[in-house]
Amino acid sequence: MVLAYEMEYRHPVDERSTVELVPYTHEFKDQYKALYNGCYHEMREALNIRPFDFIQDDSFFDSGMDKVYLLIKDNEIIGSVALKDGEIDDLIVDRKYQGQGYGKQILLWALEHMDSEKIILHVADWNKRAIRLYEKTGFEITGRA
């Protein structure tokens, strides 16, 4: 059984993002697939969630990609996030850029671009680092799954 938390944005922070994200385009499909699978592979393997690489084929890209935004530097994806009807989803940062503040900047950007009174996200208990980031940025745990 995988334990995940629902977190809600309840304590707004007085901080603005210093980055600008762009909408996903298919020219980044291969990079995005590698980034997505790379970011979730370790967790999925540790929790024995199969397949370990979630994106198996191009059908993943058939819907929902209009809600995905990318942080690009020198034509390379640093990270991304999906904004889905009041939910921040799949916030990921390439391993080589982790620990440099990009996750926080992407999260702040997402908060600035959400068009919802209530903002939630879901995170696995396994991802302690993300939980700490979310709590420091104004989220609190409101449920467990």
Average pLDDT, the chain: 96
Give the pairing of strands 87-93 and 120-124: parallel
Beta-strand (E) ranges in the chain?
Answer: 4-9, 22-23, 68-73, 76-84, 87-93, 120-124, 139-144
- Express each pLDDT in 11-58 by its tens digit: 999 999 999 999 999 999 999 999 999 999 999 999 999 999 999 999
Total structural domains in the chain?
Answer: 1
What global pTM score does this model have? 0.95
- Express each pLDDT in 85-120 by its tens digit: 999 999 999 999 999 999 999 999 999 999 999 999
Domain with residue 129: its CATH number is 3.40.630.30
User: What's the pLDDT at 2?
Assistant: 67
- Express each pLDDT in 4-14 by its tens digit: 999 999 999 99
Q: Whole domain around residue 64: which residue ranges?
A: 4-144
